[in-house]
Amino acid sequence: MQARLLLEDGTLFTGKSFGSEGDSVGEVVFNTGITGYQEVLSDPSYCGQIVTMTYPLIGNYGVIRDDFESVRPFIHGFVVREHEEIPSNWRAQYTLGSLLKEYGIIGISGIDTRMLTRKIRHHGVMKGLLTTSNKSIAELTEMLGGSTLMTDQVARVSTKSVFGAPGHKERIVLVDFGAKSGIIRDLSKRDCDVVVVPQDTTAEQIRRLAPDGVLLSNGPGDPKDVPHAVQMVKELLGEFPIFGICLGHQLFALACGADTEKLKFGHRGGNHPVKDLISGRCYITSQNHGYTVNEDSVAGTELEVTHINNNDRTIEGLKHKKYDAFSVQYHPEAAPGPFDSSYLFDDFIAMIRKHKLDNPQQPRQAQMLAQWKAANPAPTSVKEELQYAKK
């Protein structure tokens, strides 16, 4: 079956359909990864986007459920040069086409993905319509023009209820803005007691979970579309150690007074060089984001830049000068290097332990007794003393 991709500038690509059928509108982006297409498909940060893979052969090792980064894919379309229908991999459980069909995702193959990528790099990301219908160009143009890109991606991909991954050490509240499973895996490897909460969880609700630290996850879209999350971070800043990843990094920056802006075509792939300004070391990182922290806006805040992108010099890491809080724009739970950046989880745990030493807390029993006394003040008369004794 034929499939077509129409861009908002009028460019039309015609290829072969695989996966599901129908119409789908999304922001057309590209990913430069040579491998990892199923991690791309299952990354909630791609919600609302039509993803183009720049590597020409996709689907050759099939799909393995154990390697997923979430329960299901959230992308709005998949664009490849060549789709391999018969995978060669003893671990493969099903094909790429069958995965897309199961979740209602349209795929298109046989188009010039190099041309498409060059167009996005030159003009920037743009809205696109992916279709398997036989509608006229005029009808498709009208459909695309009348559509709008979603702004509620975080609410769509976040968990709707609290759940845990039990451990015996530090309790980490992971705020799920579209969290990849790799984040939970890395925390569980360190025997952390992980509690995953929805994206609209308030600061007070997080306090009731008695965390040792708070981790702000990755997620899709514009960080300014989730102002409630920025407010939550503001309230918790300085009270608990905070670690932000990707979207969490941008939310942390906004909460500290910095600003964010949209990149021309974003960073998506597993080969982005990032320089650690403290050690001078360069890390090869996995990235997936379309927004960045504005460098000039950091100057008037209490934030310090810790990492930069060696390709375009954009900000890749921040830390607070006063409070125990830091963030990175890239994905330390991913393994492109292969495990170069996983030390950041160790740094987070070390920060939590130092914070607890520097800020000793009363034992829980003493805290509960103090709360009871506050609610039940000591008697000032004989009558009150009798009532107090009854309690």
Please tell me whether 263 is known to bind a ligand.
no
Measure the CA–CA gap between 80 and 218, rounded to whole angstroms.
25
Residue 389 confidence class, pLDDT cut points 50, 70, 90:
low
Please tell me whether 291 is known to bind a ligand.
yes
Average pLDDT rounded to a whole number, residues 256-273: 96
Q: Please report the pLDDT score of residue 370 as a whole number.
A: 81
Please tell me whether 221 is known to bind a ligand.
yes
Please tell me whether 45 is known to bind a ligand.
yes
Please tell me whether 288 is known to bind a ligand.
yes
| pLDDT > 80? residue 27 | yes
305 in Cβ contact with 317 (< 8 Å): yes
DSSP 34-59: SS-HHHHHT-GGGTTEEEEESSSEES
What pLDDT, in 10s, does the model give residues 336-366? 777 889 999 999 999 999 999 998 887 778 7
E strand or H helix at 316:
strand 315-320
Please tell me whether 219 is known to bind a ligand.
yes
Compute CA 389 distance to the chain's CA centroid, rounded to the nearest angstrom: 55
> Which residues form the catalytic set?
246, 331, 333
The H-assigned helical ranges of the chain are 37-41, 96-102, 113-123, 137-145, 153-157, 181-189, 203-208, 227-236, 247-255, 295-298, 343-358, 364-375, 382-390
**Amino acid present at 165:** A
Please tell me whether 99 is known to bind a ligand.
no
Average pLDDT rounded to a whole number, residues 203-221: 97
28 in Cβ contact with 50 (< 8 Å): yes
What pLDDT, in 10s, does the model give residues 293-315? 999 999 989 999 999 999 999 99
Average pLDDT rounded to a whole number, residues 228-235: 98
Taken in order of first residue, the domains within the chain and their CATH numbers are 2-150 (3.50.30.20), 154-358 (3.40.50.880), 364-391 (no CATH)
> What three-state secondary structure class fits 357?
helix
